[in-house]
Structure 1
Amino acid sequence: MTTDDEWLWYGGRVCLDFVNTLRDRWLALPRETLREPADLVRWLRGVDLLADGAHGASESALRSAVALREAIDRAVLCAVDGELPTPADITVINQASAAAPRPVPHLSVKDGQLESSRAPHAAEDAAGGLGLVAQDAIELLLSPELRRVRICGSERCALRFVDRSPAHNRRWCSMTRCGNRTKVRLHQARSRARD
């Protein structure tokens, strides 16, 4: 695996990291990183959404994953622009969310008191893992954090991310990935123009 094939975790939300599995959206033919069912399993394991020993994914699960990814992307971008997502995208997200495993309540003692907590949960199959991604998308779509979703300012990127910078003015998916590259490219262009 080359560096360009590694998963990128700049989104700030699992649903945006999932959207970012389609790279180079600015190209006529973006680069797909979920090419086979094993890629989907590897990604879901990378974000701890699949339990140890969980079942692999099928071609059908991969097609569902791609459909969910694009529905999330369209819904988030519509909502950021103040529009409502399409009924079709809402249906795709809701159907995927329904497959998520229920969190398991746990009883614990804290400061001498009984309390309930929800154990982190992972799915037993790809559909359940995608359901957890869909639930994260629903939470994002309904949260004030939605107003902070951005698209990387590099003309050669288009990754989506949540801007959690103190001044809310983050432009790049990552300073090391796109920010520095863009600044170097612009500096070189200015230097050439002066010469």
Structure 2
Amino acid sequence: MEPATDSPGLTLRTPEGRPYLFDPGALCLELLPTGGPGLLARYEVLHEPADLAHWAARSRLPDGLDLTVGPGELADARALRDALHRLAGDRAHGRALAARDLDVVNERAAREPLAARIDVGAGVGAVRAWAPGATGDQLLSTVARDAVDLFTGPHAHRIRECGSHDCHLLFVDTSRPGRRRWCAMERCGNRSKARAHRARQARSGAGEGSEAGAGGA
């Protein structure tokens, strides 16, 4: 993962190495591309405590987070992420949410979150920042509380999996029309359009061939 542009979301890379912007629509869902349970473990990027701090700096959290992460907190981050993966997948496909995964989120959400503060901004403005000395435990509580808001809020029914057959990224559709289908139009959306175009050309070619055959009979 790389830092995104001014737009919210994460800059991910295709298997071929091309960057694209993926906006899952919520902080808690931004944690999911770091790996996951089962076969998703092959995408694991949270190997060391510094990797969690690296993710936080590239998330939609405001800049300036002074974060210290311990080894135990890294393991907790993976456990929370895997529970969120299963919950988001279940919600996207209309399955009941597993109590064991809800317990993981609720236990983490009950802890002390990151402490927000107001810092002086440019000119006479002010910016949202974080109190110094933040811990990985506080970060995970903030992520879990975001999940509580998402799964109990007005967009809970819009948690979806990318519509591409070979992409399993999860996102919440926060668009006004509510018709988002792809993780990113520049990746899976464009690939789908290209496949549909080739299919139309193939059908058109087959039709022309049939007409030519009938005319020559």
User: TM-score under structure 1 normalisation?
Assistant: 0.74
- The structure whose RCO (Cα within 8 Å, separation 6+) is larger is 1
Deviations 1:74-102 (A, max 9, x none): 22333455554222212211222133336
Which secondary structure state, in structure 1, belongs to the residue aligned with residue 171 of structure 2?
strand
Q: Distance in 2 between matches of 1:179 and 1:80?
A: 18
Which secondary structure state, in structure 2, belongs to the residue aligned with residue 144 of structure 1?
coil
Q: Answer with 88-97 or 177-186: which moved more.
A: 177-186
Q: Which amino acid letter does the alignment assign opposite residue 153 of structure 1?
A: G
Count matched residues: 181
Which secondary structure state, in structure 2, belongs to the residue aligned with residue 71 of structure 1?
helix
Matched, 1:19 2:32: yes
Deviations 1:9-47 (A, max 9, x none): 411000111123238x89676412323322211111222
- After TM superposition, the structure 1 = structure 2 runs for residues 38-117 of structure 1, keeping only pairs within 5 Å, are 38-47=50-59, 48=61, 52-55=65-68, 57-81=69-93, 83-101=95-113, 103=115
Once the two structures are TM-superposed, the CA of residue 177 in structure 1 deviates from its matched residue by 2.1
Residues 132 and 186 of structure 1: is their aligned pair in 2 closer, same or farther, counting only changes over 3 Å?
same
Which residue is 1:160 aligned to?
170
Q: Answer with 181-190 or 136-145: which moved more.
A: 181-190
Residues 155 and 33 of structure 1: is their aligned pair in 2 closer, same or farther, counting only changes over 3 Å?
farther
Residues 79 and 105 of structure 1: is their aligned pair in 2 closer, same or farther, counting only changes over 3 Å?
same
Which residue is 1:31 aligned to?
43
Which secondary structure state, in structure 2, belongs to the residue aligned with residue 20 of structure 1?
helix
Q: Answer with 123-132 or 171-180: which moved more.
A: 123-132
Residues 102 and 54 of structure 1: is their aligned pair in 2 closer, same or farther, counting only changes over 3 Å?
closer
User: TM-score under structure 2 normalisation?
Assistant: 0.67
Q: Answer with 84-93 or 175-184: which moved more.
A: 84-93
Deviations 1:123-150 (A, max 9, x none): 7111111110000001111112101111
Which residue is 2:147 aligned to?
137
Alpha carbons 2:162, 2:183 under 8 Å: kept: yes
Based on CA coordinates, which of the two structures has the bigger radius of gyration?
2
Q: Distance in 1 between matches of 2:74 and 2:26?
A: 21
Residues 166 and 65 of structure 1: is their aligned pair in 2 closer, same or farther, counting only changes over 3 Å?
same
Alpha carbons 1:154, 1:178 under 8 Å: kept: yes
Aligned-residue CA RMSD (Å): 3.4
Q: 5+ residue gaps in structure 2?
A: 3-11, 119-127, 207-217
Q: 5+ residue gaps in structure 1?
A: 107-118
Once the two structures are TM-superposed, the CA of residue 120 in structure 1 deviates from its matched residue by 5.5
Q: Distance in 1 between matches of 2:39 and 2:202?
A: 26
Q: Distance in 1 between matches of 2:39 and 2:200?
A: 25
